[in-house]
Amino acid sequence: MPLKISRILHAGYLFACEDTVIAFDPIVENPFSRNCHAFPGVRFDHEQVRQLRLDAVFISHFHDDHLSLESLDFLDRATPIYLYCIFDELFEMIRALGFARVERLQVDVAVQVGAIEIIPRRALDDDVDSLFQVRAGGMNVLNVVDSWIGPGTLAQLAALAPWDMVLWPFQAMREVAVIAPTLARPARATLPDDWIAQLQVLNPRYIVPSSCQFVQEDWSWYNHAMFPVTYRQFAREVGAAVPAATVVRLDPSVSVLLDADGLVPAAPLPWVIPVGPQDVDFDYRPGVAPPATADIARRFPALNEHDTALVLDFCRHGLLARYRDMELAEDSYFQQPRLWRLSLYGHDGSVTVLHYRIDADLIDLVPSPAPGEAPSWTTELPLAKCHAALVLGESLTSMYLRINDAQFDAATLAELEEADIVDDPLIRCLFNDAIGAYQAAQLQRLGYGSLAP
């Protein structure tokens, strides 16, 4: 029998063969991860999702656009959940939802679920990601999810070529460029060379541009600055480099049947409902000017007095304690004495400015800088987004954080051009030890209690 492959959303797929049906990284929310909006647009019939009887769910890693407890909450609790993750807390959180069978995936250890065999393969960052080899109906499919493939794994996968289908993570997102736009280098005009080389080695019959089926809010400048690759470009460049392959776009709900004879359309998923135009593409605009953080902050609801006090107390006290508890890398920009300026913008455009003096692992709040002293690192963000990161586990890429968007003298600028953006003290204090923070907040919202990440 042929293998039926259906796109849910983003990295989510349904695979069906004979009487076996499994899901990969299912997301049935829109928006998901707080402000990732489906692109193209969809809505979900959650009543139909509740009626699904999946034979298993496989989750490639713990990031909240792949492991969402609010999406899993719609599924039958008898569904086995297989997760690739090195952190025990995430397994406990899924069990807290009521799933009786939650299994840890191991690299190169096959899992047989009815007519479908799934083999996790090692990703380049194997502390976080995995990719999946799927065998069913005589077909061999590689789901790269949004991982990168290292040389050892590529050699292993090359021995299995030609592949019948590869689901390839096609969007080269510019997360750092939108966080620090002043110092960002231009996006390259062509696809990364290693993408082309690896796809040529895999030599698949069909290639699906996969993952990254989302944009930010419709007003967001990110939509023109963070997504440089279009579907059109991907199809053109990959088609030229791997001429024996067919590039196939699978939008949400779309299904195909894959067998030795080829690929044919199949009935779409009835519970994934397209909304609006589906033949949409990304609109990257090189050199787009970012709006002021004060203007972005006006887009978010005002915090109440309690939540504002919580954020300011963290920035004046909790942040300092967290920073002092962390170990700074030997090559950190902050190994030298620095003055850091943090600016928090309210819904009304007002700003609270705090200065900190940092010297390696030491940090102190400075009532006011010395006359004529300029900061050597700056961070600004909406007050509401700092609260969301603290309380809701919101991820870095949706916080509208802006780093070093200021005037610096030539010597400081030269140092900043060599600095690592994630050295930012706020980023480190919010996210360095925040494994599972988003899922822990989901548990609390869903009423299953709270498990500290």
The per-residue pLDDT for range 201-226, each reduced to its tens digit, is: 999 999 999 999 999 999 999 999 99
Superfamily of domain 3-274: Ribonuclease Z/Hydroxyacylglutathione hydrolase-like (3.60.15.10)
Q: Which residue has the higher pLDDT, 238 or 394?
A: 238
pLDDT for 450? 55
Confidence of residue 45 (pLDDT cuts 50, 70, 90): very high
pLDDT for 397? 86
pLDDT for 372? 87
> What is the domain partition of the chain in residue ranges?
3-274, 293-446
pLDDT for 452? 47
pLDDT for 272? 98
Tokens 């259906």 found at: 6
The per-residue pLDDT for range 13-32, each reduced to its tens digit, is: 999 999 999 999 999 999 99
Q: Which fold has domain 293-446?
A: Nonspecific Lipid-transfer Protein; Chain A (3.30.1050)
Q: Where are the beta strands (DSSP E) in 34-156?
A: 37-38, 42-44, 56-59, 81-83, 102-104, 111-113, 116-122, 130-136, 139-143
DSSP-derived letter for residue 222 is G
pLDDT for 34? 87
Tokens 């979900």 found at: 44
pLDDT for 395? 87
88-96 and 437-446 helices, crossing angle to 10°: 10
Confidence of residue 111 (pLDDT cuts 50, 70, 90): very high
Nearest CA-CA partner of 425 in 277, 315, 313: 315
231-241 and 193-202 helices, crossing angle to 10°: 50
Sort strands 102-104 and 351-359 into parallel, antiparallel or unpaired. unpaired
144, two tokens: 């790269």
Cα(436)–Cα(329) distance, rounded to whole angstroms? 23
The per-residue pLDDT for range 261-289, each reduced to its tens digit, is: 999 999 999 999 999 999 999 999 998 99
DSSP-derived letter for residue 9 is E
Average of per-residue pLDDT across 240-257: 98
The per-residue pLDDT for range 281-336, each reduced to its tens digit, is: 999 999 899 999 999 999 999 999 999 999 999 999 999 999 999 999 999 999 99
Do the domains spanning 3-274 and 293-446 agree at the CATH topology level? no
- 453: pLDDT strictly greater than 80: no
Give the percent of the chain with pLDDT over 70. 99
- 435: pLDDT strictly greater than 90: no
